[in-house]
Amino acid sequence: MTQNMSSAVKIIQGRFGRVALLDMTAPLVGHAHHHCHILIKVGGADGAFRVRGEVAPLTDETAVLVNAWEHHAYEHKAPLGERTLILALYIEPAWLAQIQRSLALSGHPRFFPQSTVQLNAATRKNMEEFVLELWWADEVSPSRLEHLLFDLIIEVIERCSGWRDLACLLRSRPPAAMDPRIRQAISLMKQDMARELDVEALAQQTGLSRAHFFTLFQRDTQVSPLVYANVLRFEAAVSRLTQGRDAVGDIATDLGFSAPSHFARFFRSHLGITPTDYRRKVNLFEPPAGGDTLL
């Protein structure tokens, strides 16, 4: 691995979503996830993310919080050659809701009221314990790792999300109904992710002008049609890389990339690593036996 290329130290994937320990040396393009996204600096130089149009510092004292479908970008602010080791949590809101009903709105685009949270000594200790277990993930039971992950998430969000008061969350963040025409457009996008995005055609198919379609799409999803399409392609790529053994070149073709190198560039610009590196580093975790409840 060259000095100026980011790499994955460890990745685990399961019903909780994804957890990645990333050694970052370069910025990432603006993107989004359907996950509840938490980023914690583990070591190296300080970094930052741009969230909600503002810089959110990633330091020993502050973690970065990104809501589901919230546009964000990593800014590698370290001097040339210096690295930032990041624990990146991509958490499935459905998994959190299964464990604790008060976390049912963790997928809401305003679940985190701010993009940073202060870390105390207890949280840093939990993070360090989790990273050590993550390092030895092959020898750790999925049940223990999920317990540690859930405890770490609660430690981070305890002081900023009001997650324990579901009634208050529902009053302050009522779920918004998506326009049926936007739901139709998303369904069409999912049916053919390999096709180059044509916003004009999508607008026509849903009976909207291009401008009105774009406005409604941004309102209902929090991101542009292009960012949404890229999320679909990226998640489809992750699924193909982890659930099967298809050649990376075949996956690239099926997802509409004209060459594997274009696919690799797309993947790296969103996560910092190549599809091949992801497949090599990912560890798939099966659900623990004995039910979903951790509390």
pLDDT in tens, 145-154: 899 999 999 9
| Burial of 288: CB neighbours in 10 Å, binned 0-12, 13-18, 19+ | middle
Residue span(s) of the chain under CATH 1.10.10.60 come to 180-282
Query: CATH fold of 7-174, please?
Result: Jelly Rolls (2.60.120)
Buried b (16+ CB within 10 A) or exposed e, 90-114: bbbbebbbbbbebbbbbbbbebbee
Paired sense of beta strands 54-58 and 62-66, if any: unpaired
295 pLDDT tier (thresholds 50, 70, 90): very low
The hierarchical CATH code for the domain 180-282 is 1.10.10.60
pLDDT at 33 over 80: yes
244 pLDDT tier (thresholds 50, 70, 90): confident
Do 134 and 16 touch, CB atoms closer than 8 A? no
What's the CA gap between 271 and 9, in Å, rounded? Answer: 13
pLDDT recorded at residue 105: 80
Average pLDDT over residues 118-131: 93
Q: List the 116-118 sheet strands across, edge first.
A: 116-118, 62-66, 36-44, 84-91, 17-24, 7-14, 282-284
HEC-encoded secondary structure of 169-224: HHHHCCCCCCCHHHHHHHHHHHHCCCCCCCHHHHHHHCCCCHHHHHHHHHHHHCCC
What's the CA gap between 231 and 262, in Å, rounded? Answer: 16
What's the CA gap between 221 and 84, in Å, rounded? Answer: 31
Average pLDDT over residues 268-273: 93
pLDDT recorded at residue 169: 57
pLDDT at 293 over 50: no
Do 110 and 162 touch, CB atoms closer than 8 A? no
| Burial of 46: CB neighbours in 10 Å, binned 0-12, 13-18, 19+ | middle
Dihedral sign, CA of 107, 113, 116, 120? negative
pLDDT recorded at residue 2: 43
Average pLDDT, whole number, for the chain? 88
- Between 284 and 179, the more confident residue is 179
pLDDT in tens, 82-117: 999 999 999 999 999 888 877 878 888 888 889 999
Single out the residue of 292, 22, 23 nearest to residue 150, CA to CA.
292
pLDDT recorded at residue 195: 86
CA distances from 88 to 62, 180, 218 (A): 14, 33, 26
What's the CA gap between 74 and 34, in Å, rounded? Answer: 17
pLDDT at 186 over 90: yes
Do 288 and 150 touch, CB atoms closer than 8 A? no
pTM of the shown model = 0.89
Task: List the single range of 2-6, 21-25, 265-269, 288-292 with lowest mean pLDDT.
Answer: 288-292
Q: How many residues can be counted in the chain?
A: 295
Residue span(s) of the chain under CATH 2.60.120.10 come to 7-174
pLDDT recorded at residue 55: 96
